[in-house]
């Protein structure tokens, strides 16, 4: 048991910093186990601070202090106090600026938490967000302290020929003993969480970008030598993102150099350090034979995300960590829109909503629910959540929907103009949007402070005599931890009306101009909306484009849904109607399974799918989405008490029934679109792969030798990873006789490509096969598995506990015990990643009584473990409440 509960930090306690740091000069003599840091900070009392004490408190963790001086005068032991997390200097000058010089020592090799300065294979690199800078040297480690940084790196020339930091390289030279030095200067003031350095033996690809004002920017991507042939896509994505930000937001890059470094050991996806982004290799490296189509898409999205942070995050940053969604919600919204513009808006939107609804909605409905601007935390690293990122982006999207493209641009222009160089709040962002458009968003602000997903219930009443359709809307939100009562929110509801012949009905609403689509604004708990001059009852297409992050409850018959699948011109709602239709049918099968009744297939689904298949489709990716069944995790999210076995059985039954009914269509879809292509990443080629692999997946469920041969043939001849992996996955999931041989062969083929081996682990961890648990357990002992590499941990333990609900939630509880053992081991190595692994246990209230008990036991084991980190403690203890 922990001795004392860790401290909670509250938003309401925010105060201005007591001191400011205008500029920092850092000098680091780098080595794996003994790095020396000298920091000279130009400081002064903050005139805005109300505290008149002369004490200065700096944050610092896991540092060995060597010396301290103020204005060149060394401090003695009596002048300061050291504790585990702080350095306090009793008296510093109050009236004039002063220079505080600190020398300390750190051990990057011992830093397995990967925060601060650490070792990723042979490379030294940093991760300072949120509070990693304090593990490099003593500092005012908070985002509202913005300083200029000048950094000198000194290191061995052979081990570390490349020495990088933020900004521009201003000087370099040679030293004795085969050492060299480089000085970097970043002219832009920034918080220390954006500081970065990299030292290593790296290869680089270079390109150029000419900005809208004609400045030439040098672009560099650094990787290990063996990966140099996998950088092209990242570079293209970067240039596309730079152009897009100029065109859509009028934002130009500011430094002359933009660097990206890919590292194999990284806690998250990537990091937007000023001028020197550090990326998880997963979001940089791609070659057609090693990366799938979805890897290519993720790389494009993450490269853009980090680039966009240069304005939304770096130039305008957060005042405190409660405002995290200010930079993350806005930047995710920007990267989503960018990706949609690069390929297909329709598909991007559907995929984003799928993620939101399966994962973020679960977070919002569980014990860890928090508003997008949380009001308290124990460990800030636990708040890089789907709520802050994905729901945060939905909130920005709603502002975009309410203001329109031009209004939103006016708002963002004002925001950048007003706050460039400042550390601000979510409220400042909303105010800029209001002021630029002269509208009142005071009610809308509740989205920032209220947790939980609202439910929107809609009743339709059609009066044929009056030719009037009334929509009665009601919103409600369930209580969430620490927030029992909820207020009505301002919800934009996009709507279209469709006539019985499939044509679009013109919308006549109040005295507004007649339109084909309208955004209704629900602001009260209950509100009705009337539409006149409707000669017959139209079919309502509501919440188009998923215009608000809510759960929509509206009665729709299967026939009505089938109609929308045929006729809705809104690509999101057309797909959604199909999902609702198959979801409804799957739920009636689940009921039958629970009552041990015989399962019967509903032919309406088959005829709806056949109809879809008869049309001519240009966008085959969209067609694949229309033909896909809802995921098991989405189905689970719709159940009060999750029945993992029944969900799996019902979904498999329906999949097989569809495959039987449409076998010949799937065979021809497969044959038409199966082309042995390599290196083709245009939308058409991606669409072909997507549809043929979906067809093959339906056919595989038929357990038929002929289709087993299709998969095996595809597996052996594939020239791209999408096809090879899709085939291998189907082989593993079926009763295919060559399962073991193919798995072994895949490992041997790719053992030197870490990111492909991650896929090999994940595939086995996600398998529905009955052997999975034993396989996963055995794989933790595999020579290629290591708890020290977050990507490996995520691909085995994360994938098993978060993407294999059938086996993780096995009735005997062995999945839970397996997770606890691994979290405890990981807690000693990397608390941040360990805490993220606990997610699988947080939803215990959604399971039956026996499973609940087992999950609670597992969480209690974590809380009661000696030396549990505050990261894991916070997640586990809050989950139990």
Q: Which are the contacts of 547, defined by CB distance < 8 A and separation ≥ 6?
A: 398, 401, 492, 493, 494, 519
Q: Which are the contacts of 107, defined by CB distance < 8 A and separation ≥ 6?
A: 33, 34, 35
**Plot region of 421 (φ>0 → left; ψ -120 to 50 → alpha; else → beta):** left
Smaller CB distance to ligand 0A1: residue 283 or 750? 283
DSSP tag of 509: -
Closest CB 80 distance from Zn ion, rounded Å: 36
Closest CB 335 distance from ligand 0A1, rounded Å: 9
Q: Give the one entry of Zn ion, ligand 0A1, none that residue 270 binds, where binding means its C-beta sits below a cut-off of 5 to 8 angstroms depending on kind.
A: ligand 0A1
d(CA 12, CA 228): 49
Smaller CB distance to Zn ion: residue 278 or 522? 278
Smaller CB distance to Zn ion: residue 272 or 363? 272
Are 373 and 325 spatial neighbours (Cβ–Cβ below 8 Å)? yes
Token couple for 446: 């509740």
**Phi and psi for 470 in degrees, rounded to 5?**
-115, 130
Smaller CB distance to ligand 0A1: residue 41 or 268? 268
Closest CB 316 distance from ligand 0A1, rounded Å: 14
Handedness of CA 273, 275, 281, 285 (dihedral sign): positive
Smaller CB distance to ligand 0A1: residue 141 or 568? 141
Tell me which residues touch ligand 0A1 (CB under 6 A).
127, 129-130, 267-272, 305-306, 328, 381, 384
Q: Give the one entry of ligand 0A1, Zn ion, none that residue 368 binds, where binding means its C-beta sits below a cut-off of 5 to 8 angstroms depending on kind.
A: none
**Which residues within the stretch 344-373 sit at the binding site for Zn ion (CB under 5 A)?**
none
DSSP tag of 155: E
**Which residues within the stretch 310-329 sit at the binding site for Zn ion (CB under 5 A)?**
328
Are 394 and 448 spatial neighbours (Cβ–Cβ below 8 Å)? no
Q: Which are the contacts of 534, defined by CB distance < 8 A and separation ≥ 6?
A: 462, 467, 468, 469, 497, 505, 508
Is 677 assigned a catalytic role?
no
**Phi and psi for 451 in degrees, rounded to 5?**
-90, 165
- Give the interface size with Zn ion as a residue count (CB under 5 A): 2
- Annotate 722-754 with b (16+ C-beta within 10 A) or e (fewer): bbbbbbbbbbbbbebeebeebbeebeeebeebb
Closest CB 846 distance from ligand 0A1, rounded Å: 28
Residue nearest to ligand 0A1 (CB): 268
Token couple for 563: 């109609």
Dihedral in degrees, nearest 10, Cα atoms 45, 48, 52, 56: -40
Closest CB 827 distance from ligand 0A1, rounded Å: 16
Report CA-CA distances (Å) from 404 to 407, 457, 756.
Answer: 5, 25, 42
Smaller CB distance to Zn ion: residue 297 or 733? 297
**Which residues within the stretch 326-345 sit at the binding site for Zn ion (CB under 5 A)?**
328, 331
Q: Which are the contacts of 19, defined by CB distance < 8 A and separation ≥ 6?
A: 43, 44, 45, 46, 49, 56, 92, 140
Q: Give the one entry of Zn ion, ligand 0A1, none that residue 877 binds, where binding means its C-beta sits below a cut-off of 5 to 8 angstroms depending on kind.
A: none
Q: Give the one entry of Zn ion, ligand 0A1, none that residue 267 binds, where binding means its C-beta sits below a cut-off of 5 to 8 angstroms depending on kind.
A: ligand 0A1
Strands 35-45 and 19-29: antiparallel
Smaller CB distance to Zn ion: residue 334 or 690? 334
Where is 820: in which H helix or E strand?
helix 814-829
Closest CB 269 distance from Zn ion, rounded Å: 8
Radius of gyration of the chain (CA): 28
Q: Give the one entry of ligand 0A1, Zn ion, none that residue 306 binds, where binding means its C-beta sits below a cut-off of 5 to 8 angstroms depending on kind.
A: ligand 0A1
Closest CB 309 distance from ligand 0A1, rounded Å: 7
Closest CB 331 distance from ligand 0A1, rounded Å: 7
Token pair 């990643």: residue: 833
Bridge partners (DSSP) listed for residue 529: 471
Smaller CB distance to ligand 0A1: residue 186 or 871? 871
Q: Give the one entry of Zn ion, ligand 0A1, none that residue 129 binds, where binding means its C-beta sits below a cut-off of 5 to 8 angstroms depending on kind.
A: ligand 0A1
Q: Give the one entry of Zn ion, ligand 0A1, none that residue 268 binds, where binding means its C-beta sits below a cut-off of 5 to 8 angstroms depending on kind.
A: ligand 0A1
Smaller CB distance to Zn ion: residue 331 or 637? 331
CA atoms within 13 A on the CB side of 50: 3
Give the residue from 491, 487, 478, 484 showing the smallest Cα distance to 527.
Answer: 491
Smaller CB distance to ligand 0A1: residue 245 or 328? 328
Report the length, in residues, of the chain.
881
Q: Give the one entry of Zn ion, ligand 0A1, none that residue 35 binds, where binding means its C-beta sits below a cut-off of 5 to 8 angstroms depending on kind.
A: none
Q: Give the one entry of ligand 0A1, Zn ion, none that residue 570 binds, where binding means its C-beta sits below a cut-off of 5 to 8 angstroms depending on kind.
A: none
Handedness of CA 502, 508, 513, 517 (dihedral sign): negative
Are 417 and 429 spatial neighbours (Cβ–Cβ below 8 Å)? no
Smaller CB distance to ligand 0A1: residue 302 or 763? 302
The catalytic position among 300, 306, 390, 753 is: 306
Report CA-CA distances (Å) from 826 to 112, 263, 874.
Answer: 10, 20, 16
What ranges in 440-480 are assigned the alpha helix state H? 446-449
Closest CB 334 distance from ligand 0A1, rounded Å: 12
Report CA-CA distances (Å) from 766 to 397, 438, 760, 772, 794.
Answer: 33, 51, 10, 8, 12
Closest CB 332 distance from ligand 0A1, rounded Å: 8
Give the residue from 335, 333, 334, 323 showing the smallest Cα distance to 371.
Answer: 323
Q: Give the one entry of ligand 0A1, Zn ion, none that residue 754 binds, where binding means its C-beta sits below a cut-off of 5 to 8 angstroms depending on kind.
A: none
Closest CB 221 distance from ligand 0A1, rounded Å: 17
Closest CB 306 distance from ligand 0A1, rounded Å: 6
Q: Give the one entry of ligand 0A1, Zn ion, none that residue 384 binds, where binding means its C-beta sits below a cut-off of 5 to 8 angstroms depending on kind.
A: ligand 0A1
Smaller CB distance to Zn ion: residue 331 or 401? 331
Q: Give the one entry of ligand 0A1, Zn ion, none that residue 869 binds, where binding means its C-beta sits below a cut-off of 5 to 8 angstroms depending on kind.
A: none
Are 183 and 171 spatial neighbours (Cβ–Cβ below 8 Å)? yes
What ranges in 643-700 are assigned the alpha helix state H? 644-661, 663-673, 683-700
Smaller CB distance to ligand 0A1: residue 464 or 788? 788
Q: Give the one entry of Zn ion, ligand 0A1, none that residue 700 binds, where binding means its C-beta sits below a cut-off of 5 to 8 angstroms depending on kind.
A: none
Closest CB 131 distance from ligand 0A1, rounded Å: 8
Coil vs helix vs strand at 88? strand
* Interacting residue ranges for Zn ion, rule: CB under 5 A: 328, 331
Active-site positions read 306
């Amino acid at each position: 048991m922990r001795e004392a509960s860790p401290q909670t930090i509250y938003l309401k306690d925010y105060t201005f910093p007591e001191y400011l740091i205008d500029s920092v000069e850092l000098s680091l003599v780098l080595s794996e186990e003994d790095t020396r840091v000298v920091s000279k900070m130009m400081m002064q009392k903050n005139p805005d601070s109300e505290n008149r004490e002369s004490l200065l408190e700096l944050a610092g963790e896991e540092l060995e202090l060597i010396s301290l001086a103020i204005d060149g005068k060394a401090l003695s032991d009596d002048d300061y106090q050291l504790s585990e997390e702080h350095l306090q200097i009793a008296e510093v000058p109050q009236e004039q600026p002063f220079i505080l010089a600190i020398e300390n020592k750190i051990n990057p090799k011992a830093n397995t938490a990967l925060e601060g300065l650490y070792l990723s294979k042979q490379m030294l690199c940093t991760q300072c967000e949120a509070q990693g800078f304090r593990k490099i040297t003593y500092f005012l480690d908070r985002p509202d302290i913005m300083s200029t940084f000048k950094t000198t790196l000194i290191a061995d020339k052979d081990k570390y020929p490349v020495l990088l930091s933020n900004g521009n390289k201003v000087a370099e030279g040679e030293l004795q003993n085969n050492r060299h030095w480089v000085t970097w200067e970043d002219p832009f003031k920034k918080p220390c969480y954006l500081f970065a350095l990299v030292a290593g033996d790296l290869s680089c690809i270079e390109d150029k970008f000419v900005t809208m004002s004609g400045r030439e920017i040098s672009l560099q991507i650094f990787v290990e030598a063996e990966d140099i042939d996998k950088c092209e896509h990242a570079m293209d994505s970067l240039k596309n993102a730079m152009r897009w930000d100029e065109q859509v937001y009028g934002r130009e890059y500011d430094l002359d150099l933009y660097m990206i470094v890919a590292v194999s050991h990284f806690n998250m996806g990537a990091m937007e350090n000023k001028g020197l982004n550090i990326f998880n290799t997963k979001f940089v490296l791609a070659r057609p034979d090693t990366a799938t189509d979805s890897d290519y898409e993720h790389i494009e999205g993450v490269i853009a995300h980090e680039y966009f942070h240069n304005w939304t995050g770096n130039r305008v940053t957060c005042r405190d960590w409660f405002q995290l969604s200010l930079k993350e919600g806005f930047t995710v919204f920007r990267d989503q829109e960018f990706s949609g513009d690069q390929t297909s808006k329709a598909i991007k939107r559907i995929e984003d909503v799928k993620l939101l609804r399966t994962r973020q909605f679960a977070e919002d409905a569980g014990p860890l629910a928090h508003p997008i601007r949380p009001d308290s935390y124990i460990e800030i690293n636990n708040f890089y959540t789907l709520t802050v990122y994905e729901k945060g982006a939905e909130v920005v999207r709603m502002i975009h929907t309410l203001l329109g493209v031009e209004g939103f641009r006016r708002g963002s222009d004002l925001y950048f103009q007003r706050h460039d160089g400042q550390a601000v709040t979510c409220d400042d962002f909303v105010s800029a949007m209001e002021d630029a458009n002269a509208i009142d968003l005071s009610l809308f602000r509740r989205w920032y402070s209220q947790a939980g997903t609202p439910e929107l219930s809609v009743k339709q009443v059609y009066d044929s005599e009056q030719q009037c359709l009334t929509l009665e809307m009601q919103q409600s939100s369930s209580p969430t931890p620490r927030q029992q009562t909820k207020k009505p929110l301002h919800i934009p509801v996009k709507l279209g009306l469709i006539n019985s012949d499939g044509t679009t009905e013109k919308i006549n609403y109040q005295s507004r101009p007649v339109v084909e689509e309208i955004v209704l604004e629900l602001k009260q708990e209950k509100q009705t909306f009337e539409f006149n001059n409707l000669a017959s009852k139209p079919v309502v297409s509501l919440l188009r484009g998923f215009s608000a992050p809510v759960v929509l409850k509206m009665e729709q018959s299967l026939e009505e849904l089938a109609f929308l699948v045929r006729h809705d011109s809104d690509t999101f709602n057309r797909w959604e109607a199909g999902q609702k239709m198959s979801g409804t049918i799957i739920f009636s099968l689940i009921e039958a399974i629970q009552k041990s009744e015989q399962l019967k297939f509903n032919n309406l689904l088959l005829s709806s799918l056949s109809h879809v298949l008869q049309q001519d489709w240009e966008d085959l990716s969209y067609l694949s989405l229309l033909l896909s069944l809802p995921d098991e995790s989405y189905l689970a999210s719709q159940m009060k008490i999750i029945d993992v076995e029944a969900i799996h059985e019902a979904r498999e039954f329906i999949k097989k029934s569809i495959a039987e009914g449409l076998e010949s269509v799937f065979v021809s879809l497969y044959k038409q679109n199966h082309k042995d292509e390599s290196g083709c990443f245009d939308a058409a080629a991606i669409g072909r792969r997507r549809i043929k692999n979906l067809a093959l997946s339906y056919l595989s469920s038929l357990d038929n030798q002929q289709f087993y041969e299709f998969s095996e043939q595809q597996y052996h001849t594939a020239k791209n990873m999408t096809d090879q992996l899709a085939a291998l996955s189907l082989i593993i999931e079926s009763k295919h006789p060559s399962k073991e041989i193919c798995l072994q062969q895949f490992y041997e083929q790719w053992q030197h490509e870490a990111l492909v081996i991650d896929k090999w682990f994940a595939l086995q961890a996600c398998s529905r096969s009955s052997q999975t648990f034993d396989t996963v357990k055995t794989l933790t002992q595999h020579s290629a598995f290591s708890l020290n590499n977050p990507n490996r941990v995520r691909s085995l333990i994360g994938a098993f506990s978060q993407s294999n609900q059938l086996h993780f939630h096995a009735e005997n509880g062995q999945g839970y015990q397996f997770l606890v053992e691994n979290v405890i081991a990981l807690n000693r190595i990397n608390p941040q990643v360990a805490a993220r692994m606990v997610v699988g246990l947080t939803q215990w209230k959604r399971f039956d009584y026996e499973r609940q008990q087992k999950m609670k036991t597992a969480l209690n084991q974590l809380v009661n473990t000696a030396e549990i980190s505050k990261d894991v403690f916070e997640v586990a203890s809050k989950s139990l409440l």
